[in-house]
A and B are shown apart, each in its own frame.
Chain A
Amino acid sequence: MNLPLWAMVTAMLTTATPLVFGALGELVTERAGVLNLGIEGTMYAGAFVGVLVAGSSGSVWIGLLAALVTGVLAGLFVGVFTVTLGVNQHVAGIGTTLLLIASCNFASRLLYGGGSVPQVPKFSQLLPDVPVASQYLLTYLAFLIVAPAMFVLLRSTGFGLRVRAVGDNPEAADAAGISVARTRYAALGLGGMLMAAGGAFITLAMLGTFTLNITNGRGWVCIALVIFARWRVIPAVLGGLLFAAVDALQLQLVITPQFAGIPQQLMSALPYLVVIGALVVAGRSLRYPGAYLKPYRRT
């Protein structure tokens, strides 16, 4: 059996890109003490708005910018409910996801009349003929800029310290003069922006168009990756790569004569099974951020 190894590594990096964006977005949000289950909807909205604006403006960059702004707004929207009003984070997040997906589908129906969405300007691959390096700009950004920046941000900057403080012990942070609400809003906005970048990658880099169900649950995978990574940047990136590697592997195995007899449903479930397996191993005796899921009130 001869597997095309370099092509699989190339595929792994591409498939992992939206997961890395999404997981890093979720990670910074959760480190601030807010579980943002609006992630699936935020990625979806980023994917849709990116195409919408890229199509109408004729510029993929403006499309990307619009997607990022949408992500920030989606994050702040979740903040209104979870930070200002202090409602249950599960309900606020899932509500946001349902709202965003349905709104995008509705808008898509109004604009495109139920047919397919026309092709819009999209990013081209850099170095299209070089194995592994033939990736989109956003993939380079995700691995070489965003992930290291997030690592440094959380570990060594004042903002990162404030984020961790309000996520672990908001009372102490408040006493030290840190605005818990403002910090959490900032984390939600930043996180939402990254999630939307993940969604926009699918439409503006991979496809150049939008269809219903475009994210197909990738946001939920990101939630699992963050827990799997125990809220640390490097394991989250590695987790995304692991999922994508198994996906690239199964896509090769299903068309290999030796494996062609195995039901394909089982094979396409493989990446999810691996993530669940990894969670079972890594998820024991987890130490959640101290204020996870807890709205903060001065009492």
Chain B
Amino acid sequence: MVVSPNRHTRSRARVRVVAAAAVLGLALAACGGNTGEAPTSEAGDGATATAGATTQTAGSAAGPSSEGAATGGSSGPGSSAPSGEKPLVYGVFATPLEEPWDGAIHAALQAAAADGTIVYKHTDNNDTPDKMTRTLTDVITTEKPAIIIGDSFAAEDQVRAVAAKYPETPFVFGSGGKTVDPNFSIFDNWLQDPAFLAGMLAGGMTKSNTIGVVAAMPIPEVNRIVNAFIAGVKESNDKATVKVTFINSFFDPATAKQAALAQVAAGVDVLFAERAGVIEAAKEKNLPVIGMMVDQKSEAPKNVVTSLVWNMRPTIDHIVHEYTKTGTVKAQDLAEFSFMKNGGSSIAPINTDVPGGVPDTVKSAVEAKQKAIEDGSFTTPVNEEAPAGSTTVGG
């Protein structure tokens, strides 16, 4: 049989197209799988494992179903939480949960769910504005959550637009912007209090009078923490210099480690690890280091002096309380609930078993200042300007 070369070529071309489509298809499927778009049900039960590639595979039976109450888009207050039922709080995050900022919110919501005050579902990695809009609209129309909480990051405008479209669903978002009546509340990681205390600690511990900070990027919520840290250093040591490196990424621990090592080479002997990777540098160089977001002592028990800890529970407890009492959450700035005096932030117990130790005078000065913050007699200054790469605090 004679087979014309043309037929060969054509069938090959077909195979190629199919193969290319297969690669793309696989890749896209994998992407979908990773986004965690499939909401998981009650937190902490390992239900994440059910996350598939589709958007709406609600996990276990715990989720209150208000299907059928199709109201053409807007979900009425209380529609998902008739009296006696726990409100469904839906986490909608722009960044992956692995990012410590989102991780802190997620952990607090998981804890609230474990305590039985809420039902919690979430979706993360809604990393483009259009995806964020789609997810929010989907969640509101199909799940009818009592409250939506999350971070918007680059999709702030879109989140606000969806909130305006569904005025009866309370939105509680991490934001540096303003609240919008009737339903858009804001919160943020106001960690200036623990940052100030950690700065005092670092200033009192340094022997070279040089302290290093490695942070993500110069944005207001990072700047105010770094600036409060520098102010704290000044409080305890007016001869110190603080070096600040931004790695311009939320996830690049290899670069963060190299940045920390560069600071150590320039004389730094106490580090503040705003990002992952820095603690590894401290371990390698046997230096004290301050952790971030959660108590990171377990990562390097002989190096981590303390950590800035963000606790979102007071914020969440407040909005859940308001919701169960009034059936909604009015637009408000929840910043204060992250302040130390309200239990929204803290420094982890000071670990004196670190290189160089922690002088008792320094430790008691920090504890005295913490009392002053907690009783309201001292207010940590807030400064959101980008800090310089090198600041001599007394100068």
Q: Is the CB of A255 within 8 A of B26?
A: no
Shortest Cβ distance from A124 into B: residue: B284
The chain A residue sitting closest to B215, CB to CB, is A264
Instruction: Tell me whether A102 and B280 are in contact in the complex, defined as CB-CB below 8 angstroms, given that A214-B251, A214-B254 are known contacts.
Output: no
Contact call B389/A85, Cβ cutoff below 8 A: no
Pair A248/B262 contact, Cβ less than 8 Å: yes
Interface centre among A106, A110, A119, A259 (most CB of B within 10 A): A106
Among the 9-residue stretches B168-176, B238-246, B308-316, the one with 4 or more Cβ atoms under 8 Å from chain A is B238-246
**Binary A-proximity of B32-75 (CB < 8 A = 1, otherwise 0):** 01101000000000101101000000000000000000000000
Segment with Cβ contacts to B, from A64-72, A92-100, A164-172, A185-193 = A92-100
Please encode chain A, from 244 to 257, with 1 for each CB lying within 8 Å of some chain B CB and 0 for all others. Answer: 00011001101111
Interface range, B side: 35 or more
A206 and B12 contacting across the interface, CB-CB below 8 Å:
no
Q: Which residues of B contact A110 (CB under 8 A)?
A: 48-49, 51
- Contact B33 A106, beta carbon cutoff 8 Å: yes
- Return B254 CB to nearest CB of chain A, in Å: 5
If over half of B's interface residues share one DSSP class (helix, strand or loop), that class is named, otherwise mixed; here it is helix
- Within 8 Å of chain A (Cβ to Cβ): is B86? no
Q: Give the CA-CA distance A20 to B362 in the complex, in Å.
A: 46
What B residues does A256 contact at CB under 8 A?
266, 389-390
Asked, given contacts A207-B254, A248-B258, A256-B390, whether A87 binds B23 with beta carbons under 8 Å apart, the answer is: yes
A158 at the interface (CB under 8 A from B): no
Chain A-chain B contacts (Cβ-Cβ < 8 Å), number = 180
CB neighbours of B263 from chain A (8 A): 255
A4 to B245 CA separation, bound complex (whole angstroms): 16
Selected contact of B246 from candidates A98, A125, A208, A268, CB within 8 Å: A268
A86 on interface, CB distance cutoff 8 Å: yes
Contact between B24 and A7, CB atoms less than 8 A apart: no
**Chain A contacts of B5 at CB under 8 A?**
299
Contact yes or no, A212 B251, CB < 8 A = yes
B31 to chain A, nearest CB (A): 5
Asked if A81 is an interface residue, CB under 8 A from chain B, the answer is yes
Across the interface, do A81 and B254 meet the contact criterion of CB distance under 8 Å?
Answer: no
Measured CB to CB, the closest approach of chain A to B180, in angstroms, equals: 30
Residue of B nearest to A128 (CB): B284
Selecting from A8-16, A174-182, A227-235, A286-294, the interface stretch reads: A8-16
Q: How far is the CA of A116 from the CA of B106 in the complex (A)?
A: 13
Q: What is the CB-to-nearest-CB distance from B274 to chain A, in angstroms, rounded to a whole number?
A: 13
In angstroms, Cα B27 to Cα A15, docked, is 29
Contact among B48, B246, B250 with A109 in the assembled complex (CB-CB below 8 Å)? B48
Interface membership of B255, Cβ < 8 A: yes
Tell whether A57 is near chain B: CB-to-CB under 8 Å: no
CB neighbours (8 Å) of B247 from chain A are: 268
Bound together, the chains give a CA A212 to CA B280 distance in angstroms of: 17
Instruction: Check A285 for interface membership: any CB of B closer than 8 A.
Output: no
On whether A98 and B280 interact (CB within 8 A), knowing A4-B265, A214-B251, the answer reads: no
Among the interface residues A18, A92, A268, A297, which one has the most CB atoms of the partner chain B within 10 A?
A268
Q: Which residue of A lies closest to B122 (CB)?
A: A114
Contact between A251 and B280, CB atoms less than 8 A apart: no
- B215 CB → nearest A CB, Å: 10
14 CB < 8 A contacts A-B: A11-B265, A86-B12, A95-B26, A98-B31, A108-B98, A110-B48, A115-B97, A115-B103, A116-B100, A206-B254, A207-B277, A255-B212, A255-B245, A265-B246
Residues of B within 8 A of A (CB): 5, 12, 15-17, 19-20, 23-24, 26-28, 30-31, 33-34, 36, 46, 48-49, 51, 96-100, 103, 106, 124, 212, 217-218, 243-255, 257-259, 261-266, 276-277, 280, 284, 299, 388-392
Q: Write the residues of chain A forming the contact surface with B, with a CB cutoff of 8 angstroms.
A: 4, 7-8, 11, 14-15, 18, 81, 85-88, 91-92, 94-96, 98-99, 102-103, 105-106, 108-110, 113-116, 119, 125, 128, 202, 206-209, 211-214, 216, 247-248, 251-252, 254-257, 259-261, 264-265, 268, 297, 299
